[in-house]
Structure 1
Amino acid sequence: MDTQLTEKERKVLFWACFLSLMAAGVGFAYRVMVLGDWGNEFNLTDAEKGRIFGASLWPIAVMMILFSLIVDFVGYKRSMYLAFILQATAAVLTFLAKSPSALYYACLCGGLGHGIVEAVINPVCASIYTTQKSKMLNILHAAWPAGLVAGGSVVILCASLGWHWNALWLIVPVVIYGVMFIGAKFPVDERVRAKIPYSVMLKDVGFLSSSIASFLLVHELTTVFTGSAPSIYTSLIAGLIIGAIFGAITKSIGKPLYFILCLLMVPLATTELGTDAWIKELMTPVMGTYAGWALVLSAFIMMILRFQAGFLTNRFSPPTILVISSFFSMLGLIALSQVSGPLVFGAFVLYAVGQTFYWPTVLGLASEQYPEGGALSLNTVSAIGLLSVGIIGSPIIGVFNDNHTTNNVKELSTEVYEGSKKEANFFGASYEATDKAKAKEIAEKVGKEAELDTAIQKSGRQSLFTVALAFPLVMLVCFAIIGFWYKSRGGYKPRVLEASWE
């Protein structure tokens, strides 16, 4: 039965969805800020810290894809209450944690809940604002940086004041959105209202995009459950086999442009999330103790601009907005690699402006052009982005940093270079890296400790410049081509399956 929502009902539902994503952002910010403290308290190795924190990440993509396939049968409200239970459990377990295993399960619950939230709120937003998808998805996803700002600010302020602030406060935004969902009315999904069969929903993804998603899922889940990453070729072959089976069942190769969007999520997610993961470490030598606040500033700018998304969506098509975003993120990263002192904050503004509209605009584009794909077309492209950051994006930035460090050390001193070089591996390809601990030890002996610190700092800034050329520039060109393609076909026009009730 079709659910006709009043304006008030839509607003209540939208802001409940907003708060659910904000709650996920608050939890993420908390975990990022206190991960080092957990390591000290429980005497964790870097690998153990990575495993615990990773438990809050990989389930997001898994649950997004899983619930995209079943949410129409389970129902939006029941799905959101499962997310509520998981996120509330995550907060309580974090508060009560007395061991690394308890922290692991707390992060796991947080990740599972976050994935369900994303799987539900994206199609809900697209279904209640069928003619304003790009604008409203941008506003909805202002919740993520809002959560980062709130969570990061609380942790940093409490740490600076010397207050012991436990994790139980993380449950506050979870309880608020849970209460809001009690009386909320949910729409029937846009695809279901238009009576488009479930089998048709699967066709947009088809063989092509399901192969990418399967490759990334196989690689990630094998790594998680076996403790070691499989060969890239093993994951790729498994992904192609699963994709071929999916393609045969759906009798579809998939939509080519949708496949291209999925591919572009790799550099897009790396530019946005992968760079965020490195930016504090890379900029600490320049900004010192203020590096943590820089991320909060970036998230604050993103939050404010996403609330104003209508200014852009009313004037430009999604491909054009993505071109503009690519330009600003490239400019921001280049500036971050060159400037120092107060100018660093100006560069951060450019960087924040650039990454602001990336993710929700791609979601808007996918939903506007492939509405018959329902929740699956929306959430698969997002899940691919999330998975690619950890599997491809962040490691690539690490390779950039390793290469620049090695080259700088080599220029500094042959003795330090020869004594500290080691072999590293990226997807089966070996390359030369530097053991920084050994390099510092040798540098002390030869009286070049200060020069080595300068060389390492320089490599971080060089990495930002390389990232700017490797990812935003590529996206700028690709989204420009997509924009020209739409122009050649009479201009960009959103597809609406039926008349909206707005």
Structure 2
Amino acid sequence: MQTINRAQLFRASCLSLLVTSLSFGIRAGILGDLGVKFQLNASQLGTITATAFWGFPLAVVIGGVIVDIIGMKRLLLLAFIFHLVGILLTVFATGYWTLFISTLTIGIANGTVEAACNPLVTSLYTENKTTKLSHFHLWFPGGIVIGTLIVTLFKMIGLNWQVQVGVMLIPTAIYGYLFSKLDFPVTERVASGVSTAGMYKAVLSPLFIFMFICMFGTAITELFTGQWIDVLLKNVTDNALLLLTLETGVMVLGRAFAKPILKLFSPQVVILMSTIVAALGLYMLSTLHGDIIFLAAIIFGMGVCFFWPTMLGFVSENIPKSGALGINLMGGAGMFAVSVWTVIMGKYYDNIVASKMAVLPAGTDPAKALEQAKSLAGPDVLHFTLTIPLVLIVAFTGLVFYMRAKKKTDPLTAVVV
């Protein structure tokens, strides 16, 4: 007879997400070192970074389709294997292609974790989905904070980037062991008897398609900016990596206190307010200089804090028949969008720098000119990205009015299709 230990399963899920986020935080911190070590330009670094976002949607969508069939436990043991292989390949990387393959493998592991853990959390806490998803997803920014602090500390004491990456093996081994020993429930859709046809019908509903498209923008605003902040702003401030630590620290606190906020406001209102604050923070990051840029990082962190878990929670609560597939399609959409945007912006960054260098006056010091070109290119990339949350403000305003009208016409039921 199965004994479902809800608390232990939730803790193990948080630990697996910690490994996912450590990969983001540590990679963001060592990106510059990898560029120097292997002589990679911003476009190449952008492509390597993007492979993690390619692997993620691939795994999360496939996982969303098969999780009801093979079960969440088998999916998480696969995630453990992919994490183990990806981390070891990164530690022993020798150049562009080995970094490409290892980062792709870690991306597949990360996507597999979310493909299993998001439906696991909603199955364990059917009465409190959005709040528990926020508590679960606080370990994503939490791991980024830990990862960036590890990079900073290890650099101070002279440990190389291979050691920094190798640290991830410890929580990977622990979560793999825990999941191998625990019993799992079936997914919420299977437990409630919703048919596969009903699930596919739900993900083709207009409301789901709208949220799916909006997920492109919320994910780019949150994850692209965080992953690239060290590269984009390192010539603007001496503490660019600390900006990421500060921003993600704010996200941890916000998600930890999601329960009272979600009691005061509906998920769609939280998403709209978040988008407005995120747009303000991104504008400040792209225009300010000096110490006040740390205030910009705090405001930006407050804005993007609720994006990911609240988008997933909204879909799970208002389109419940979409099940694990619905949640995982949302995650896949977000990561795919980030992968495309990262490559585009990497090339955009290189083109800005090249154009600035092409018109140098005679006698200009090339090294100083390159530094100045980079200091202009980074904020320009962020300013260009600002258009995304500005469009989202309009979209989510419409969502708030739509849900308000829906509640008036059908106040006792969720939007079920």
TM-score by structure 1 length? 0.75
Partner of 1:63: 59
Deviations 1:161-199 (A, max 9, x none): 223362332100111212221332212111111111112
Q: 1:377 & 1:50 partners in 2: Cα distance? A: 29
Partner of 1:437: 357
- Equivalent positions of 1:17-416 (< 5 A) are 17-44=13-40, 48-98=44-94, 100-164=96-160, 166=163, 167-205=165-203, 254-288=204-238, 290-392=239-341, 395=344
Ranked by relative contact order (alpha carbons within 8 Å, sequence separation 6 or more), the top structure is: 2
Contact 2:131 2:262 in 1 (8 A): yes
For residues 89-142 of structure 1, the C-alpha deviation after alignment (integer angstroms, 9 at most, x for no partner) is 222233344555444433232122111101000111111111211111111111
Separation in 2 of the partners of 1:446 and 1:266?
Answer: 42
Deviations 1:441-472 (A, max 9, x none): x334479997996676456445544533x122
| Cα distance in structure 2, aligned partners of 1:42 and 1:275 | 24
Paired with 1:32 and 1:449, the residues of 2 have a C-alpha distance of 24
Residues 364 and 398 of structure 1: is their aligned pair in 2 closer, same or farther, counting only changes over 3 Å? farther
Q: Check if 1:467 corresponds to 2:385.
A: yes
- Worse-superposed segment, 124-133 or 331-340: 331-340
Spell out, residue by residue over 1:267-304, the C-alpha distance to the aligned partner (whole angstroms, 9 max, x if none): 2122112222443333223312x001111111111112
Q: Structure 1 residues 38, 379: closer, same or farther in 2, change over 3 A?
A: same
What secondary structure is seen at the aligned counterpart in 2 of 1:443? coil
Quick one: which amino acid aligns to residue 282 of structure 2?
A: L
Quote the offset at 1:489 in angstroms: 2.3
Tell me how far apart the structure 1 counterparts of residues 377 and 328 of structure 2 sit (CA, whole Å): 36
Between the aligned partners of 1:68 and 1:314, the Cα distance in structure 2 is 29
Matched position secondary structure for 2:159: coil
Could you tell me which runs of 5 or more consecutive residues in structure 1 were left unpaired when the two chains were aligned.
Answer: 206-253, 406-432, 498-502
Over 3 Å counting, the alpha-carbon distance change for 1:89 and 1:123 in structure 2 is: same
Alignment partners' CA distance in 2, 1:44 and 1:337: 25
1:480 aligns with 2:397: yes
**2:9 match:** 13
Q: 2:120 and 2:189 mapped to 1: Cα distance? A: 11
SS at match of 1:328: helix
Q: Do the aligned residues in 1 keep the contact of 2:357 with 2:370 (CA within 8 Å)?
A: no
Structure 2 CA distance, aligned partners of 1:58 and 1:88?
Answer: 18
> Which moves more between the two structures, 28-37 or 122-131?
28-37
Q: Does the CA-based 8 Å contact 1:201-1:373 persist in structure 2?
A: yes
Specify whether residues 448 and 24 from structure 1 end up closer, same or farther in structure 2 by C-alpha distance, changes over 3 A only. closer
TM-score scaled to structure 2, two decimals?
0.89
Which runs of no fewer than 5 residues in structure 2 stay unpaired? none
Q: Which residue of 2 aligns with 1:233?
A: none
Deviation at 1:13, TM superposition (A): 0.6
- Compare CA radii of gyration and give the structure with the larger one: 1
Question: Are 1:130 and 1:496, in contact at CA under 8 Å, matched by a contact in 2?
Answer: no
Write the letter of the residue equivalent to 1:483: V
Aligned length: 412
The percentage of aligned residue pairs carrying the same residue is 31
What is the CA–CA distance in structure 2 between the aligned matches of 1:84 and 1:264, rounded to whole Å? 30
Q: 1:50-97 CA deviation, whole Å, 9 max, x = no partner?
A: 454443331110011111111111111111111111111222233344
Deviation (angstroms), 1:387: 0.6
